[in-house]
């Protein structure tokens, strides 16, 4: 639970860092197809909410 709160705060206040961490995680995932990876990278680009959506809906993580 604490990790989720830290990830949400990071996504809101330090979006560029959160975006890079998301992209690294997305690229390294083997359970996603190429098109799904591209869509999630585009979604995470949205300031503040994108990385939060990835963590909550895409079963992703920053680290």
Q: What is the pLDDT of residue 62?
A: 66
* 62 within some domain: no
Q: How would you class 27 by CB atoms within 10 Å of its CB: exposed for 0-12, middle for 13-18, buried for 19 or more?
A: exposed
pLDDT band at 10 (very low <50, low <70, confident <90, very high): confident
* 48 within some domain: yes
Instruction: Look at the chain and report how many structural domains it folds into.
Output: 1
* 11 within some domain: yes
Q: What is the pLDDT of residue 24?
A: 92
* 21 within some domain: yes
| Average pLDDT in the chain | 85
* 10 within some domain: yes
* 39 within some domain: yes
Domain that holds residue 44: 2-57
Using the predicted structure, report yes or no on whether residue 48 has a pLDDT greater than 80.
Answer: no
* 63 within some domain: no
Q: Output the CA torsion 56→35→38→22 (10° steps).
A: 40
């Amino acid at each position: 639970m604490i990790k989720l709160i830290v990830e949400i705060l990071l996504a809101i206040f330090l979006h560029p860092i959160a975006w890079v961490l998301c992209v690294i995680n997305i690229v390294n995932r083997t359970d996603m197809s190429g098109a799904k990876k591209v869509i999630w990278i585009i979604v995470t680009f949205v300031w503040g909410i994108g990385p939060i959506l990835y963590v909550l809906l895409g079963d992703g993580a920053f680290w």
